[in-house]
Amino acid sequence: MNRNHTDVIIIGGGIIGCAIAYNLTKRGVKPLLIDKAPAVGTEASWAGAGILTSHASTHEPYPTLCRASLALYPTLAEELRVETQIDIEFIQSGTLSVFFNEAEAAGLIGLADRRVKRGFSAEVLTAEQAWQLEPALAKSIAGAVLFPEDAQVRNPKMVTALAKGAAKLGAKFQLGNPVTNFIREDKRVIGVVVNGETLYADTFVIAAGCWAGTLTAQLDVPIQIGPAKGQIVLVEAMPPPFQHIVDGLGIYIVPRADGKILLGATVEYVGYDKTATVDGTKQMIDAGITIAPQLAQSTFVQTWAGLRPYAKKGPLLGYLPGYDNVVLASGHFKNGILLAPITGQLVAELLTTGQPSLSLEPFQPEVV
């Protein structure tokens, strides 16, 4: 066997690529993961807020996928802690969604009904009840809905833990240079070119986040996946003003385990631009202070922006049309952290048994 040959090459070391690598190693496959950056998890998977929502939309099967992934978190967090000594800070903090007027209340009460119908809990609270739970909330709120099953995770730690866990079980990593080309023989990919060197494999997984479409285009398969920029503001306040994730006015506030508070996020379709702007920062700070006036006294720490992989009907999970040895796993948009555990599991099942435990048919990549 050629020394440059491996069973599976994964292109992209974000949370999706690393979750796939981790799940493959658990099933005895030792993949090679390639990332253009010098470390794993430097893009959207680093930038994300780490909120894990108990989805209840009626547009099945997407919410089923989300709920299946959320259910995997407690066991996975414990497994990663034991195997890698990394605490991914999975905390079931719940979300308190605040409303300021009747229209917002109606929208949230509708959401509460949908979640209850799908087996989750939701509690509609008066303003007084909400202040009892979170005294820092503004006196101008009209009420809130508590979603206790929502959780959070520290996503950069999770990517590191998945990569470390995979490496312990034999996954290899080639970091610091992009895949620039594919080598094809008839209708099969047999290798990828990295820094002028060809690396061969039987099967390839494209998990390159918002860059996945540029790679599939090189294989003459145009798939619409592009960047959706999100800006985040990080502040610090002692003692922390919140226990729950709080959302309202189009933003969310995440109290992290390290005492810092994250305010996010914009959704902007501006290409591959990762600038954190004054306007984006101002939007989140203004809304944050309206929700909790004492945030005005917090210490400003940092802003950043990341590029969510946006696909109209994402996520796209399955064999690339026309290729029986190239799998696409991208387009997770706003929920890639939430969906990483189930994506890793299903793609690993597809590659090892051909029979994922949830059907990937609805998520099949389609040519545009």
Ligand X SMILES: Cc1cc2nc3c(=O)[nH]c(=O)nc-3n(C[C@H](O)[C@H](O)[C@H](O)COP(=O)(O)OP(=O)(O)OC[C@H]3O[C@@H](n4cnc5c(N)ncnc54)[C@H](O)[C@@H]3O)c2cc1C
Instruction: Kindly list the residues in this chain that would bind ligand X in the complex (CB under 6 A).
Output: 11-17, 34-37, 42-45, 47-51, 178-179, 207-209, 211, 215, 230, 232, 264-265, 306, 308-309, 330, 332-338
Q: Tell me how far, at minimum, the Cβ of 348 lies from ligand X, in Å.
A: 15
First to last CA, the chain: 38
75: left (phi over 0), alpha (psi -120 to 50) or beta: alpha
Q: Tell me how far, at minimum, the Cβ of 361 lies from ligand X, in Å.
A: 21
Report the alpha-carbon distance of residue 90 to residue 78 in Å, rounded.
Answer: 9
Nearer to ligand X, 94 or 143 (CB): 94
User: 215 and 206 in contact (C-beta within 8 Å)?
Assistant: yes
Q: Tell me how far, at minimum, the Cβ of 102 lies from ligand X, in Å.
A: 28
Q: Tell me how far, at minimum, the Cβ of 113 lies from ligand X, in Å.
A: 23
Nearer to ligand X, 21 or 127 (CB): 21
Nearer to ligand X, 63 or 336 (CB): 336
Report the alpha-carbon distance of residue 150 to residue 168 in Å, rounded.
Answer: 31
Nearer to ligand X, 144 or 256 (CB): 256
Nearer to ligand X, 52 or 125 (CB): 52
Nearer to ligand X, 127 or 201 (CB): 201
Q: Tell me how far, at minimum, the Cβ of 238 lies from ligand X, in Å.
A: 24
Nearer to ligand X, 231 or 298 (CB): 231
Report the alpha-carbon distance of residue 308 to residue 180 in Å, rounded.
Answer: 22
Nearer to ligand X, 238 or 278 (CB): 278
Q: Tell me how far, at minimum, the Cβ of 17 lies from ligand X, in Å.
A: 6
Q: Tell me how far, at minimum, the Cβ of 91 lies from ligand X, in Å.
A: 13
Query: How far is CA 213 from each of CA 216, 239, 275, 290, 321, rounded to the nearest angstrom?
Result: 5, 44, 22, 39, 13
Q: Tell me how far, at minimum, the Cβ of 196 lies from ligand X, in Å.
A: 14
